[in-house]
Amino acid sequence: MIMKKWGILRGKEDDLVRDLKKTTFSFKKLGKKYGVSRQAVLAFCKRQGIKRPVRPRGHQIEECRLCQELIGISKKPHSEFISIHTIVKETGGSRVKCLSHLRTLRDKGLVTEKFGRLKSKRAEKAYAIYFKTRLPISTIGRKVGIKNFHSIIRKHKEIGIRCSALPLCL
Ligand SMILES: [Zn+2]
């Protein structure tokens, strides 16, 4: 059997057949997943006579690096308190591009409505300190140079950027 030389794949042929039939993942991506070369996956697909589903055109979230990175960041704890500046910086993209992919992800419910809405870097810093240290709000405000951190928390709470761990959000 030809599969024998793909040591790693042994026993996973059924999974690969399923992925080939059900997903539009590229041969390269599948190769990575199964630890074999792109060519090996292509050859396997041909040998099995598998007809792959037609790949829809345009932007594909599951194949979009930016979307995948955004989803990754959104899964971090307190991700709604990460500012858009940091998100743009971490994904290495442009702000415009980032916002447009974010919109798509929100529309599909893949990130929360509030993820990426925080605009202030300073507030982000203040929240990060709070979640880490639970210092009094006024102390943190002084630390990062926010005059009234209380009122900022209240404002964010009103627009839905809230967390029950925050004193004013209870
Ligand atoms: Zn995308």
- Measured in angstroms, how far is the CA atom of residue 11 from the centroid of ligand 1? 33
- Measured in angstroms, how far is the CA atom of residue 18 from the centroid of ligand 1? 25
- Measured in angstroms, how far is the CA atom of residue 106 from the centroid of ligand 1? 11
- Measured in angstroms, how far is the CA atom of residue 71 from the centroid of ligand 1? 10
pLDDT at 54: 84
pLDDT at 55: 76
pLDDT at 93: 76
Phi-psi region of 36 (alpha: psi -120 to 50; beta: other; left: phi over 0): beta
pLDDT at 3: 47
54-72, pLDDT tens digit by residue? 877 789 899 899 999 999 9
Give every CB contact of residue 43 below 8 A, 6+ residues apart in sequence.
2
| Cut 0.75: pTM above it | no
Closest CA to 12 of 43, 46, 35: 35
Phi/psi at 71 (nearest 5 deg)? Answer: -60, -40
- Measured in angstroms, how far is the CA atom of residue 32 from the centroid of ligand 1? 21
Report, as ranges of residue numbers, the positions in the chain whose pLDDT lies below 70. Answer: 1-8, 168-170
- Measured in angstroms, how far is the CA atom of residue 64 from the centroid of ligand 1? 5
Task: Report d(CA 74, CA 83) in Å as an integer.
Answer: 11
pLDDT at 169: 60
- Measured in angstroms, how far is the CA atom of residue 59 from the centroid of ligand 1? 6
- Measured in angstroms, how far is the CA atom of residue 69 from the centroid of ligand 1? 9
- Measured in angstroms, how far is the CA atom of residue 51 from the centroid of ligand 1? 27
- Measured in angstroms, how far is the CA atom of residue 107 from the centroid of ligand 1? 12
